[in-house]
């Protein structure tokens, strides 16, 4: 056997070995209790004219005979297949916000101040000391009469 043949056998490429896994459903449900979901029709190609209904998941049950989780939504006696639900990734479109008065601002800042003081005492992390200083400055601005 020639030296070239021996070298070529040493460096001969072996066929790549691949392991294929068949996609299996996760062991748990796709959604959790309390999560907001959209009710959609998976059979429609184009989105409907009206916006999808948004609900909160109330209960989850696994049905072994069909190997699916079904979800009961708040305000409905029906159980929905998870293929008809979609996660509400963006949250609500509007939030109601009320104006916070000066006393509430000071109270909230004091709560944050106390928490940062405890964390600084526990960890010694300088970032907490910086936050404490910043909150002290904010409190001075709110409490100084102009």
Task: Provide the whole-model pTM.
Answer: 0.48
- The dihedral through the CA atoms of 136, 137, 139, 144 has a sign that is positive
Across the chain, what does the average pLDDT equal? 81
Confirm if 28 and 71 have CB atoms less than 8 A apart.
no
Q: Which two tokens stand for residue 105?
A: 């601002």
Which is nearest to 31 in space by CA: 81, 65, 77? 81
Predicted confidence (pLDDT) per residue in 14-60, tens digit = 555 544 444 445 568 889 999 999 998 888 877 777 778 889 999 99
At 17 the pLDDT is 53
The class that CATH gives domain 18-96 is mainly beta
Q: Quick check: 5 pLDDT over 70?
A: no
Q: Quick check: 12 pLDDT over 80?
A: no
**What is the spatial distance between Cα 83 and Cα 27, in angstroms, rounded to a whole number?**
16
């Amino acid at each position: 056997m020639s030296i070239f043949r021996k070298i070529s056998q040493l460096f001969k490429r072996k066929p790549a070995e691949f392991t294929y896994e068949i996609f299996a459903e996760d062991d748990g449900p796709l959604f959790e209790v309390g999560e907001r979901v959209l009710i959609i029709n998976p059979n429609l190609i184009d989105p409907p004219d009206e916006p999808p209904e948004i609900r909160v998941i109330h209960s989850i049950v696994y049905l072994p005979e069909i190997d699916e989780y079904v979800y009961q939504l708040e305000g409905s006696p029906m159980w929905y297949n998870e293929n008809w639900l979609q996660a509400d990734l963006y949250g609500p479109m509007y939030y109601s916000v009320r104006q916070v008065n000066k006393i509430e601002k000071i109270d909230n800042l004091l709560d944050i101040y106390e928490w940062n003081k405890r964390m600084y005492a526990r960890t010694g992390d300088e970032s907490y000391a910086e936050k404490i200083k910043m909150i002290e400055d904010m409190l001075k601005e709110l409490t100084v009469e102009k």
